């Protein structure tokens, strides 16, 4: 009897702990009697499945039936009338073979002459492959994701969704677990509407993986606290040099639509000020208040040695603009205050996950498989959050929600209209300001 199959993909921005989740999914799935599959490069790999082949010159062809169609860098087939363009592209890597007279017309597209297939030594790119116990040995301590990730706007289109559907049907995969952020979970909703060979909808479960902690319903997303820990360690080092030179440092952290990384690291690093869009303060007034606090902290009565400002990338005044404003404010000051900017960027996203993120990832990973095993679909598992939710009987620390509800709540977070998140922001902000006095 054929075993049921579960495929896993990681999509969008990677986050520390994704590998721990993959490991937990694979081993829980194998324990429950599933064959496990990994999809490389997120939805991009799902679209192309195992239909891309490359030759010894590393030129790619799309296999459809018995034919190898010529494709460009965007994986679009060359039309028959585009032969000169195809030859020019394929001849760029001409170490082993020249293609001048070896393309034929196949319908309205260009295809490779079948007689040359053996000579070119085709290799499958194999985006979808089976995973075993040994496939996930040791990955819990690795950052990033062993499956790779990518942002894939093509998956928004029905044409490419149908390609993904055919690839899953070819392999008999009827269950998919998606790990990622907002865009990835939107993709999971679209994926849940695709059909299996039996004509049933795919069973799909999502896991929130995002360092920004910007996903609705769940209290925390995989990778968030590793990112906060990385920011904290960086600020420890910055504080030393800032104190030595009595300087102001603007430390920019990630947070595209959400200032959680900024406000949580504001408290955790012992910084002196935080700038994030959700504060709701008019930038001109806030910067005036900031200048006043810097003057007070460096005054003879307070005698502070350094001043750290955590700035979220979602704040409307850029770090360089802020530096220029502060430089102008202190240009003629007797305090002689120097201002420096450090952008942590993707450093915050990298590195191995902390024990807390590994623990969350393992629990959410296992829970996602149990949901599929219980015939649940179009759900997201998360660390106990807010509002109404169902608890996993296997792990009462994990809840789950309908994906549509999650996406609605995520939009509210972006607009700062979720009471739970807004109150959390205020609490962190108030605590940080109190502790920085």
CATH number at residue 400: 3.40.50.450
Task: Assign 195 a pLDDT band (cuts: 50, 70, 90).
Answer: very high
Answer yes or no: is 425 within a domain.
Answer: no
Residue 161 and residue 42 in one domain = yes
Task: Assign 18 a pLDDT band (cuts: 50, 70, 90).
Answer: very high
d(CA 312, CA 161): 35
Structure tokens at 190: 């679209």
Task: Please state whether beta strands 203-208 and 175-180 pair in parallel, antiparallel, or not at all (unpaired).
Answer: parallel
Please identify every residue annotated as catalytic: 212
- The CATH number assigned to the domain holding 336 equals 3.40.50.460
Answer yes or no: is 97 within a domain.
Answer: yes
Answer yes or no: is 432 within a domain.
Answer: no
Residue 99 and residue 149 in one domain = no
> Other CB atoms closer than 10 Å to residue 277's CB: what's the count?
19
Answer yes or no: is 154 within a domain.
Answer: yes
Measuring CA to CA, which residue among 118, 115, 104, 93 is closest to residue 69?
Answer: 104
d(CA 69, CA 82): 13
d(CA 180, CA 151): 10
Residue 89 and residue 232 in one domain = no
Residue 268 and residue 243 in one domain = yes
Mean pLDDT in the chain? 94
Task: Assign 367 a pLDDT band (cuts: 50, 70, 90).
Answer: very high
Helix (H, G, I), strand (E, B) or coil at 69: strand
308-345 pLDDT per residue, tens:
999 999 999 999 999 999 999 998 877 778 899 999 99
pLDDT given for residue 99 in this prediction: 87
* Partners of 104 in the β-ladder: 111
Answer yes or no: is 423 within a domain.
Answer: no
Residue 329 and residue 378 in one domain = no
Q: Is 44 a residue whose pLDDT tops 90?
A: yes
Answer yes or no: is 429 within a domain.
Answer: no
Q: Is 405 a residue whose pLDDT tops 80?
A: yes
Task: Assign 384 a pLDDT band (cuts: 50, 70, 90).
Answer: confident
Task: Assign 38 a pLDDT band (cuts: 50, 70, 90).
Answer: very high
| % of the chain at pLDDT higher than 70 | 100
Task: Give the residue from 302, 331, 350 where a domain finishes.
Answer: 350
Structurally, how many domains does the chain consist of?
3
d(CA 23, CA 29): 10
51-77 pLDDT per residue, tens:
999 988 889 999 998 999 999 988 899
* Burial group, residue 79, by CB count within 10 angstroms (0-12, 13-18, 19+): middle
The answer to whether 207 and 181 are in contact (CB under 8 A) is no
Helix (H, G, I), strand (E, B) or coil at 94: coil
| Domain enclosing residue 57, as ranges | 52-124
Residue 149 and residue 211 in one domain = yes
Residue 149 and residue 267 in one domain = no
Answer yes or no: is 434 within a domain.
Answer: no
251-275 pLDDT per residue, tens:
999 998 899 999 999 999 999 999 9
Q: Is 93 a residue whose pLDDT tops 80?
A: no
pLDDT given for residue 245 in this prediction: 87
Residue 37 and residue 148 in one domain = yes
Structure tokens at 423: 């109150």
Task: Give the residue from 321, 350, 379 where a domain finishes.
Answer: 350
Residue 307 and residue 159 in one domain = no
Residue 329 and residue 345 in one domain = yes
Residue 260 and residue 403 in one domain = no
Alpha helices in 4-152 (DSSP H): 18-31, 42-48, 83-90, 117-120
Task: Assign 22 a pLDDT band (cuts: 50, 70, 90).
Answer: very high
Answer yes or no: is 331 within a domain.
Answer: yes
Task: Give the residue from 124, 159, 178 where a domain finishes.
Answer: 124
Residue 211 and residue 137 in one domain = yes
419-434 pLDDT per residue, tens:
999 999 999 999 999 9
């Amino acid at each position: 009897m054929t075993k049921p199959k579960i495929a896993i993909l990681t999509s969008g921005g990677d986050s520390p702990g994704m590998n721990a989740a993959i490991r937990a999914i694979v081993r829980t799935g194998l324990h429950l009697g599933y064959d496990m599959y990994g999809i490389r490069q997120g939805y991009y790999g799902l679209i192309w499945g195992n239909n891309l082949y490359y030759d010894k010159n590393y030129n790619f062809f799309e296999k459809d039936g018995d034919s190898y169609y010529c494709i460009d860098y965007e994986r679009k087939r060359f039309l028959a009338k585009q032969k000169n363009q195809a030859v020019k592209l394929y001849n760029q890597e001409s170490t082993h073979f020249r293609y001048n007279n070896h393309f034929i017309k196949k319908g309205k597209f260009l295809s490779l002459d079948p007689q040359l297939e053996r000579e070119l030594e085709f290799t499958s790119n194999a985006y979808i492959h089976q995973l075993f116990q040994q496939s996930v040995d040791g990955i819990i301590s690795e950052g990033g994701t062993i499956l790779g990730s990518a942002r894939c706007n093509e998956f928004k289109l029905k044409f490419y969704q149908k390609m993904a559907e055919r690839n899953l049907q070819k392999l008999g995969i009827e269950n998919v677990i998606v790990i990622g952020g907002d865009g990835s979970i939107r993709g999971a909703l679209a994926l849940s509407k695709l059909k299996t060979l039996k004509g049933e909808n795919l069973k799909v479960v999502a896991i929130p993986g995002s360092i920004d902690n910007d996903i609705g319903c769940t209290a925390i997303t995989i990778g968030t606290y590793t990112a906060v820990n990385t920011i904290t360690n960086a600020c420890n080092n910055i504080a030393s040099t800032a104190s030595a030179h009595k300087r102001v440092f603007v430390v920019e952290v990630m947070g595209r639509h959400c200032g959680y990384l900024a406000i949580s690291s504001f408290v955790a690093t012992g910084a002196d000020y935080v700038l994030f869009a959700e504060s709701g303060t008019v930038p001109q007034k806030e910067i005036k208040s900031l200048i006043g606090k810097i003057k007070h902290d460096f005054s003879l009565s307070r005698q502070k040695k350094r001043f750290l400002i955590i700035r979220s990338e979602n704040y409307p005044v850029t770090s360089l603009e802020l530096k220029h404003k502060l430089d102008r404010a202190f240009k003629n000051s007797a305090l002689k205050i120097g201002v420096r900017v450090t952008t942590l960027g993707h450093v915050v996203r990298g590195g191995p996950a902390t024990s807390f993120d590994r623990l969350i990832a393992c629990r959410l990973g296992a829970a996602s498989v149990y949901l599929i095993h219980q015939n649940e679909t179009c759900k997201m598992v998360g660390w106990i959050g807010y509002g109404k939710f169902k608890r996993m009987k296997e792990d009462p620390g994990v809840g789950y929600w309908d994906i549509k509800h999650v996406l609605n709540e995520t939009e509210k977070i972006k607009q700062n209209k979720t009471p739970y998140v807004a109150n959390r922001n205020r609490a962190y902000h108030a605590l940080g300001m109190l502790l920085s006095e």
